[in-house]
Amino acid sequence: MAKNGQTLKLEHHLVEPTTSTSLPDIVMLHGICAGAWVFPQNFIQPLVDQGFRVHTLSYRGHGESEGKERINHWRLTDYVDDVLSICQSLPGPPVLIGHS
């Protein structure tokens, strides 16, 4: 993720089904004080078993993503940019699932 000349590495995990489907990707979005870890495998696996590709990410400053030193300076628009960076890399519009 690059913004204003700054590059941050975001934690991103992808779990894929064993067979290819035409279903949209799912991007799971965590709430405040959380990260990609908030979505346990027993929540993700049933979606994968149905044929969905499931992405989890940690916003900048969260989980294993870079940017912790500036956690108090990030804005909601920065987190939106993090989500867009994943969504724009996908082959089509994803389904978003949020947690708060």
What is the model's pLDDT at position 71?
Answer: 86
CATH architecture for the domain at 2-98: 3-Layer(aba) Sandwich (3.40)
pLDDT of residue 5 exceeding 60: no
Helix (H) / strand (E) containing 90: none
The answer to whether 4 and 58 are in contact (CB under 8 A) is no
Task: Give tens-digit pLDDT for 9-23.
Answer: 999 999 999 998 899
What is the model's pLDDT at position 2?
Answer: 47
- β-partners of residue 58 are 11
Tell me the domain boundaries of the chain: 2-98
The answer to whether 64 and 10 are in contact (CB under 8 A) is no
Task: Give tens-digit pLDDT for 31-83.
Answer: 988 999 999 999 999 999 999 999 999 999 999 999 999 888 999 999 999 99
d(CA 97, CA 55) in angstroms, rounded, equals: 10
What is the model's pLDDT at position 32?
Answer: 86
The answer to whether 54 and 90 are in contact (CB under 8 A) is no
At 4, the pLDDT band (50, 70, 90 cuts) reads low
Helix (H) / strand (E) containing 57: strand 54-58
